Structure 1
Amino acid sequence: MRGAVLLDSAQCVRLEPDTERGVRVSRVDWDPATLDDWRHQVNPLGLARQRVWEALALASKVAAQPEIIAELCWSDDPSYVTGYVASPLIGYARITHLKPLGSPMGGRVFFIRTGANSEELIYRLEQQVTLVNRLPDSNKGV
């Protein structure tokens, strides 16, 4: 599977039309000034890396959708063991050592509200152009 699982959070039923393809979040980027501000804020933490800002942009687009309750993501890169959970309530929280070093396992799950229109959600996640142009007022997570 290449994309994310779209999971009805109450019924534990997959809702993406093609379970081999999944849902592919795309067409998202940072406003350059906002990215510079974010990098300046997180640089002391050692997090101002492209892998992190790309993940944060994707997670921001996902969490901004009203149908989304939360997202869980971890890389299938065997050399990268960090993942994250993100939601409108908690923001973006990195999870270090989510898997053993060398493991090719990875994936992404979007937990959505029961009764949500999954076709509209998929369209927005895959086709709607999104620009991350502001940082949160509160520090919900990095």
Structure 2
Amino acid sequence: MAVEVACEEIPTKLEDDMMFWLNQSNGEVNVVLSIEVLQGKITIAQWKSNEHGIPFLVQNMEITKDPAPGCDHIQGSICIPFEDIHCQPRPQNKSDFVMTRVGMESLAHQIWAFTILLTLNPVTAPLRLFDTSMGD
């Protein structure tokens, strides 16, 4: 499994990146997660390739920072079989990967906080993201 993070990337570039991971890994990657960060929206998508090596979207989950009234701020779901991640059968004591609504909200909160830090101070923002003493 590979994870590709894209910020404000054009769709064809993202598809090219998916094709690279799925076709240039000598069979070691058979599923890719893309995390696309746009202003006010984050999309996590699972990609696989068809028999011709063309990537296709399997499922996606999206969170909107400020949705329209009456609209849910999280749409879709992500559940990736253990076999797709590890390229081997799932043992009885293991489970599939599931992105929960709470997990998506937590990820989005961290990404949006980081983008604010990056805007305010592009030099030290990456350091602050991982500083566990912040806020003490």
TM-score (norm 1): 0.33
Q: Which has the larger radius of gyration?
A: 2
Which has the larger share of helix? 2
Q: Which has the higher contact order (CA 8 A, sep 6+)?
A: 1
